[in-house]
Amino acid sequence: MRKKLRFVIGVALMVAAVGYLIFTAVRNTAEYYLTVSEVDSRKAELSGQMLRVAGRVAAGSISWDSSTLTLAFAMTQPPADPNQPEVKQVAATDAAPVAFRVIARGQPKPDMFAPGRDVIVEGRLGPNDTIEARQVLTSCPSKYVPKQPQQDALSHQAAPAQ
């Protein structure tokens, strides 16, 4: 009877340990990324924490030093997708666009990195709206837009019979 009790307690401890590991892993990765606007609205609570932020590279803000592998740029909120319903539309003149300064050190610049490109930055939110990036990922365009046929191709089609 004593061996059976020890076996049950041992199995229970292993199940509890595995459950704890699953719980902490899910909790840490439950939120894939935040948007620039979400980080801006929660700056006080997120300050000093590791986070993932999705945004767009602001034009004219890129600074790349290949000798020190330091990339710095401003990240802004991409414009709202007109195909997605918005709860509240804000006019462009209502508020200045939100931007965070991103600094990534010690890693090569991503291949597809360019102004206007969507990026996901993983790093720590610091003072003065700065994100010390540990990783910068560029995202591919999310929508395929087929090439429009040329006007000449349309004019060569046979006219419909009347």
Q: What is the CATH number of the domain that holds 110?
A: 2.40.50.140
Distance of CA 37 to the CA centre of its chain: 12
Question: For residue 41, how many C-alpha atoms fall within 13 Å in the half-sphere facing its CB?
Answer: 6
Token pair 């620039």 is at which residue?
36
**Same domain assignment for residues 62 and 127:** yes
Coil vs helix vs strand at 57? strand
pLDDT at 96: 61
Coil vs helix vs strand at 120? strand
Residue 91 identity: A
Nearest CA to 120 out of 137, 107, 135, 105 is that of 137
Cβ of 65: how many Cβ atoms within 10 Å?
Answer: 11
The sign of the CA dihedral 20, 24, 27, 30 is negative
Summarised one tens digit per residue, pLDDT across range 15-66 is 999 999 888 877 666 557 889 999 999 988 888 888 899 999 999 999 999 9
91 occurs within a structural domain: no
Token pair 């061996």 is at which residue?
3
pLDDT at 28: 61
pLDDT at 54: 92
Please, are residues 63 and 72 in contact by the beta-carbon 8 Å criterion? yes
**Same domain assignment for residues 35 and 23:** no
pLDDT at 79: 79
**Same domain assignment for residues 23 and 42:** no
Q: 94 is written with which tokens? A: 């209502």
pLDDT at 161: 56
**Same domain assignment for residues 110 and 66:** yes
**Same domain assignment for residues 37 and 68:** yes
88 occurs within a structural domain: no
Q: 78 is written with which tokens? A: 């991409």
Q: How many domains does the chain have?
A: 2
Coil vs helix vs strand at 9? helix
**Same domain assignment for residues 9 and 60:** no
Higher-scoring residue by pLDDT: 138, 142: 138
pLDDT at 90: 43
154 occurs within a structural domain: no
Summarised one tens digit per residue, pLDDT across range 84-115 is 444 344 444 445 678 899 999 998 998 889 99
146 occurs within a structural domain: no
pLDDT at 19: 92
103 occurs within a structural domain: yes
Range of the domain at 16: 1-27
pLDDT at 85: 44
86 occurs within a structural domain: no
Which range scores top for mean pLDDT: 13-27, 64-78, 128-142, 144-158?
64-78
**Same domain assignment for residues 23 and 102:** no
**Same domain assignment for residues 61 and 5:** no
**Same domain assignment for residues 69 and 17:** no
pLDDT at 154: 52
pLDDT at 103: 94
